[in-house]
């Protein structure tokens, strides 16, 4: 998190931390455990995208006045030798099934 704070400071953009531990435990972890206990293989990523990323976090971001929303899930870090700031590059284009994100 310290690196993210430094990058935000270098870019002169605000940096916020939103505590999602409780909702993650109750909506994702327990969901996952209960699924296994009932003999199914739950998909915690799908539930997390729907309940945490595109609901909980997006609502908090818009409440803070955000106009854009990036979770960094596919961020890639590259280190440049001549400068001290890490650069985040767009993820390398991959074929991702878009239906995974459809709720």
Give me the CATH number covering residue 21: 3.40.50.620
Q: How far, in Å, CA of 57 to CA of 64, rounded? A: 11
pLDDT in tens, 24-38: 999 999 999 999 899
pLDDT of residue 94 exceeding 90, the answer is: no
Q: How far, in Å, CA of 77 to CA of 99, rounded? A: 26
Percent of the chain beyond pLDDT 90? 34
pLDDT in tens, 40-75: 988 888 898 899 988 999 999 999 998 877 765 555
- 28 within 8 A of 44, measured Cβ to Cβ: yes
Mean pLDDT of all residues in 10-32: 92
- 9 within 8 A of 1, measured Cβ to Cβ: no
pTM: 0.60
Phi-psi region of 15 (alpha: psi -120 to 50; beta: other; left: phi over 0): beta
Domain count, the chain: 1
Range of the domain at 24: 2-101
- 53 within 8 A of 23, measured Cβ to Cβ: no
- pLDDT: which is higher, 77 or 52: 52
């Amino acid at each position: 998190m310290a690196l993210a704070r430094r990058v935000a400071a270098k870019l002169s953009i605000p940096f916020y931390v939103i505590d999602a531990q409780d909702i993650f435990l109750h909506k994702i972890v327990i969901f996952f455990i209960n699924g296994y206990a009932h003999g199914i293989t739950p998909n915690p990523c799908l539930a997390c995208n729907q309940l945490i990323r595109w609901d909980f976090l997006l609502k908090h971001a818009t409440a803070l006045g955000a106009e854009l929303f990036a979770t960094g899930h596919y961020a890639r870090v590259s280190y440049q030798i001549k400068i001290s700031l890490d650069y985040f590059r767009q993820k390398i284009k991959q074929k991702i099934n878009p239906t995974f994100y459809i709720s």
